[in-house]
A and B are shown apart, each in its own frame.
Chain A
Amino acid sequence: MSLSRRDFLRLSGWVAGSAAVTACAPAYGRLAQIGAAKQIRSAANETIFRKLGRLTYGPLPNERQEAADHGLAAWIEAQLAPESLDDARAEIRLRPYDALALEADVLADWEQDTVVDQLRRATLLRRLYSHRQLYERMVEFWTDHFNIYVSKGDCWFLKVVDDREVVRAHALGNFRDLLLASAHSPAMLVYLDNQANEKEAPNENYSREVMELHTLGVGSGYTQTDVMQLARCLTGWGVKGHFWRGQFTFDADQHAGGVKKVLGQVVPPGGEAEAEQVLARLALHPATAQHLAAELVERFIVDHPLTAVPDLVAAAAEAFLKSGGEIKSMLQVILLDGLARSDFDLPPKFKRPSDFVSSALRLLQVASDGGPAVQSHLSAMGQGLFDWPTPDGPPDVEEAWASNLLPRWSFAIELAQDELEGSRANLPGLIESEAASSPSDILTALSLLLVGRAPGPGIANTLADGLRQSGADTPEEVTAIMAAGLLASPAFQWR
């Protein structure tokens, strides 16, 4: 297949605002893959689409093709080494957002709205445009696991550093390193009040959450005494002010002396090392392995995994412990021994608002700035980025989200009509690339793109009726109605 550069631009649908991107060699080099979108009909494999839906923010035709050609397992292996995947397309889009690279003391002098806006944009843009999809999925996973609310205290700028140096630095690394980095993260210490944890006035907030949410899990056997004892180990862990605003500090004067005992083990006096020693132990505790494995399986496979697939959770936990806390080891079990196997029957998962919005933008190949318009839709759906006040992070089970459909419908209509500010959808161009001209071809093409399968008679008839009532006759109008209907449909609420 040979395509001109102009054809490529039109085909891939990334026209508006992406001139700089398409000009760069690596993106252009993928021309052949994206051209394969035309053949997606024959290559359409719903199972691969659904499985890739767990690993990506919406599987693009070229990603489906790659997985079909080389096997899902190989695709996952490649994603597990994100540093070897070219990511120029995302990086170019992130260039304007200079707050992302700055240190806390500098950011502290910035406008709060600017800093938070840049963090939110960058997060969404990476989900949409990065080739390192599984890595971004894991970044989201740990962002939720170590949730920090940017509207508490100085978290609005401290979270930028936490995002970069804790979550993104360790997303596919070792959990012990990740936990220790999080414990030293000023954003976390402010969010969970450890900077107020002093020897005369201990504050248990962080100590409790680190056991309940970050490591062992609720009901795993630790006691109130353990929480209080770890809180004593953590006294003096805080955040500097003035010139050093936003830096971690250990204040020995505020550290409670004496021997502590956590989970049955004595912690000898050792200042900052006390809590580090306990955290390192918590990181590799069997209860932590079980807790993390269950959370990961819930994110990638099924709601309530301890009931649904207890064996997979147990296997992932075992791999975690055996590897000394390697996050990839756990993922390999869940994704390669589980998800990727051809006989693995994958139950549907309800899309969270961030999944819904990201998959709509990505699958329709929208050129989005990730800015306030799309972010405010996320808020209306209940999942504004970095905007979850409670430390448990936004849940990932159907019953938490399914009651709030109207904002999704509104987003679907706005996007399909190309009226979303800062986001350009070129649906006619996208459809043309699929060589679809009749309404039924258009519906089939959109359905294959958005839900990975041809439309069933129910939705086809419903949309055909809607089309007749509307009197739409241009391809643009037909496409907008079809796209709105599909995005708002029950099928698109699941991945």
Chain B
Amino acid sequence: MSWSAGREQVLECCVHVPEQTNWPGWLPRMAFAPRGKASRGDVLLVVFLRGAADMLNVVVPHGEEAYYQMRPTLAIPRPDDLRAKTTERVIDLDGFFGLHPSMSSLLPAWRAGHLGIVHACGAPDESRSHFRAMELMERGVTDERGPASGWVGRHLASLDTGNASPLRAIGLGEQAPRSLRGRVPVTALKSIADFHLRGDLQATSRMQTILSSLYRDDEALAGVAIETLNVLHTLKKLDPASYVPSGGARYPETDFGMGLKQVAMLIKSGVGLEVAAIDLGGWDTHFSQGGSQGLMSGLMNDLATGLAGLHADLGLAMEAVSIVVMSEFGRRAYENASLGTDHGHGGALLLLSGQVRGGKVHGNWPGMAEGQLFGPGDLAVTTDYRDVLSELCRKRLNNPAVNQVFPDFAPKETNVFKSS
């Protein structure tokens, strides 16, 4: 499959409003809720790193002397540290921050200005509990009070994009992550193949013929049914095994890589995907976390090669795609006695998009010296993650009702995204 569509085509794909006429007189057609109407913005992909990723070793503050003092074993050698092999050193980004060597596949995106980083970013919650912090972050709330729905779910509910696709919002996995929960139906898919009718090929094609005939003239449901049958028809032709990514892109042969590949396939096939969420787990590295190599280096490799594959595969379409990589909190600045790191506070957001002010590490660096750390020795949070996500909703997702996405939160301008 070749892919050369520009932004217009991406935006137009599958925004199909079913024609519904001849309503029975008794049935009033009223707006369901006071939702804003707008054309849809970017496709949003949320990547959640479960287990609290040690962002200090992903985006390394190599200009920070304290970092090396606190992590005698785990620190990633400076870019100019001649004692270490080149492949084990930090890849410098701006003279102060650099990427872990296992993140090197994201360098093309960085150079293209498509990778932006917000460091010392996170949530105000200080529980250092995975369960609680993940829940609060996915709900987008400060503490347990406030709405139980997810922030992405509220975004979908507060913006009517006229998109009737059953794949408007998907969660890759057994069930959709909590961030997607809300009033708008979300489809959970382990793979594209899950979106199908049961039975063998013959039985399903017979059933689709029956359904198409049964619904064709239904005044209320024809539009939705035909849309769903079209999506089924489109997806039947998509085979992840034989799919050839564009731009020479390669995805890692992992669950994460396969998930991202299918996100790319859905975006390209124009089935109305607006929001996707995918998890990457295993980041709770209390023990033998590793430095330039080792446990966490493998996770970073999966993350970076997966995202780099998606970035290359989507090509021009990245102009209308926004990817957010987040984790529930960061890890302790000091390494522990088991050569790992314990639960900390501040982390970082990675943003991959044609519309991010990329090639730049944003945020206010709080420093890591005595007196600059937070609590038991954690990186401080200087940017609330909701400041960034609010701006994303407003500028990239065309949602003016950010106060419905993050109620009772007054976002500050971070200027991380370009305006649409």
Instruction: Tell whether B206 is near chain A: CB-to-CB under 8 Å.
Output: yes
Report whether B26 and A347 are in contact in the complex, using a CB–CB cutoff of 8 Å.
yes
* CB-based contact A389/B195 at 8 Å: no
0/1 per residue, B204-218, Cβ < 8 Å to A?
001101110111011
- Given A390-B148, A404-B185, A462-B210: A304 and B30 within 8 A (CB)? yes
Give CA–CA (A462, B183) in the complex, Å. Answer: 34
**In the complex, which of the residues A398, A400, A458 contacts B217, with contact meaning CB atoms closer than 8 Å?**
A458
Interface of B is mostly: loop
Which 5 A-B pairs give the minimum distances between C-beta atoms?
Answer: A389-B148, A193-B145, A490-B218, A382-B185, A462-B213
Q: Are A400 and B32 in contact (CB under 8 A)?
A: yes
Binary interface profile of A, 447-486, with partner B (CB < 8 Å = 1, else 0)?
Answer: 0000000000011001101100110000000000000110
Is residue B221 within 8 Å, beta carbon to beta carbon, of the partner chain? yes
A403 on interface, CB distance cutoff 8 Å:
yes
B53 at the interface (CB under 8 A from A): no
Given A405-B228, A409-B211, also A390-B182 (CB < 8 A): yes
Residues of chain B within 8 A (CB-CB) of A191 are: 148
**Which B residues lie within 8 Å of A33 (CB)?**
none
Cβ B183 vs Cβ A400 within 8 A: yes
B145 surroundings in chain A (CB, below 8 A): 193, 196, 203, 205
Whether a CB of chain A sits under 8 angstroms from the CB of B1 is no
Interface positions of A from 287 to 338, Cβ below 8 Å from B: 302-304, 307-308
Chain A interface size, as a band, is 35 or more
> Shortest beta-carbon distance, A128 to chain B, in Å?
22
Chain A residue nearest to B145 in the complex (CB): A193
Compute how far the CA of A153 lies from the CA of B136 in the bound complex, rounded to whole angstroms: 12
Near B by CB (< 8 A), chain A positions 389-447 give 389-391, 395, 397-400, 402-406, 409-410, 413-414, 417, 419
- B200-242 CB contacts (< 8 Å) to partner A: 202-203, 206-207, 209-211, 213-215, 217-218, 220-221, 224-225, 228, 232
Measured between C-beta atoms, what is the minimum distance from A479 to chain B in Å?
15
Determine whether A277 belongs to the interface, using a CB cutoff of 8 Å to chain B.
no
In the complex, which residue of chain B has the Cβ closest to the Cβ of A390? B149
B202's nearest neighbour on chain A, judged by CB, is: A470
Q: A409-B211, A490-B221 are in contact. List 16 more A-B contacts (CB 8 A).
A: A193-B144, A193-B145, A308-B26, A308-B28, A379-B175, A380-B188, A389-B148, A389-B150, A400-B32, A410-B198, A413-B207, A417-B199, A465-B210, A466-B210, A484-B207, A488-B207
Known contacts A304-B28, A403-B164; decide if A413 and B224 are in contact (CB<8 Å): no
A-B contact pairs, 6 of them (CB 8 A): A380-B187, A380-B188, A398-B220, A469-B206, A470-B203, A485-B210
- Please name all residues of chain A whose beta carbon is closer than 8 Å to the beta carbon of B221 when the two chains form the complex: 402, 405, 490, 493
A405/B225 in contact, CB under 8 A: yes
Contacts of A308 in B (CB 8 A): 26-28
Is there an interface contact between A403 and B185, defined as CB atoms closer than 8 Å?
yes
**CA A403 to CA B218, docked complex, whole Å:** 14
Known: A347-B27, A389-B149. A414 touches B214 (CB 8 A): no
Contact A462 B28 (CB under 8 A): no
Nearest chain A CB to B137's CB is how many angstroms away? 15
Contacts of B215 in A (CB 8 A): 490
A485 and B28 CA atoms in complex are apart in Å by: 29
Task: Say yes or no: B28 contacts A466, CB within 8 Å.
Answer: no
- Nearest-neighbour CB distance to chain B for A455, whole angstroms, equals 11
What are the interface flags for A235-258 relative to B under an 8 Å C-beta threshold, 1 for contact and 0 otherwise?
000000000000000000000000
Q: In this assembly, does B369 line the interface, its C-beta being within 8 Å of a C-beta of chain A?
A: no
One of B144, B149, B197, B214 near A462 (C-beta < 8 A): B214
Contact present for A466 and B182 (CB under 8 Å): no
A114 at interface by CB-CB < 8 Å:
no
Contacts of A303 in B (CB 8 A): 27-28
CB distance from A374 to the nearest CB of B (A): 15
- CB of B214 within 8 A of CB of A485, answer yes
Question: CA–CA, A303 to B147, complex, Å?
Answer: 26
**Could you tell me if A390 and B183 are in contact, using CB atoms closer than 8 angstroms?**
yes
In Å, the complex CA distance between A382 and B27 comes to 24
- Interface residues as binary, B114-156 with A (CB distance below 8 Å gives 1, 0 otherwise): 0000000000000000000000000000001111111001000
**B209:A399 contact, CB within 8 angstroms:** no
State the CA gap A398–B29 with chains docked (Å): 10
Q: In the assembled complex, which residues on chain A have CB atoms less than 8 Å from the CB atom of B186?
A: 382
Q: Is B347 an interface residue (CB 8 A)?
A: no
| Contact (A403, B214) CB under 8 Å given A304-B28, A390-B148, A413-B207 | no
Measured between alpha carbons, how far is A389 from B176 in the docked complex, in Å?
A: 13
- B202 partner residues in chain A, CB cutoff 8 A: 470
Which residues of chain A are within 8 angstroms of B213 by Cβ–Cβ distance? 462, 465
Contact B206 A406 (CB under 8 A): no
Complex CA distance for A417 and B207, rounded to whole angstroms: 13
**Given A193-B145, A462-B213, A470-B203: A302 in contact with B185 (beta carbons within 8 A):** no
Known contacts A347-B24, A404-B185, A413-B197; decide if A149 and B203 are in contact (CB<8 Å).
no
Q: Which residues of B contact A463 (CB under 8 A)?
A: 210
Q: Verify if A489 is at the interface (C-beta below 8 Å from B).
A: yes
Please determine whether A389 and B147 come into contact, CB atoms closer than 8 angstroms. Answer: yes
Q: Closest approach, in angstroms, between the C-beta of A302 and any C-beta of chain B?
A: 7
B77 interfacial by beta-carbon distance below 8 Å: no
Bound CA–CA A348/B146 (angstroms): 36
Name the B residues within 8 Å of A465 (CB-CB). 209-210, 213
| B261 contacts A by Cβ under 8 Å | no
Contact indicator per residue, chain A 201-236, by CB within 8 Å of chain B (1) or not (0):
001010000000000000000000000000000000
Q: Could you tell me the distance between the alpha carbons of A470 and B203 in the complex, rounded to whole angstroms?
A: 7
Chain B residues whose CB sits within 8 angstroms of the CB of A345 once the complex forms: 26
Answer yes or no: A281 CB below 8 A from chain B CBs: no
Per-position binary interface string of chain B over residues 376-398, scored 1 when its CB falls under 8 Å from any chain A CB and 0 otherwise: 00000000000000000000000
B contact residues around A350 at 8 Å (CB): 220
User: Cβ of B166 < 8 Å from any Cβ of A?
Assistant: yes
B residues within 8 A CB of A409?
197, 207, 211
Q: Mark A124-165, 1 if CB is under 8 A from B, else 0.
A: 000000000000000000000000010111000000000000
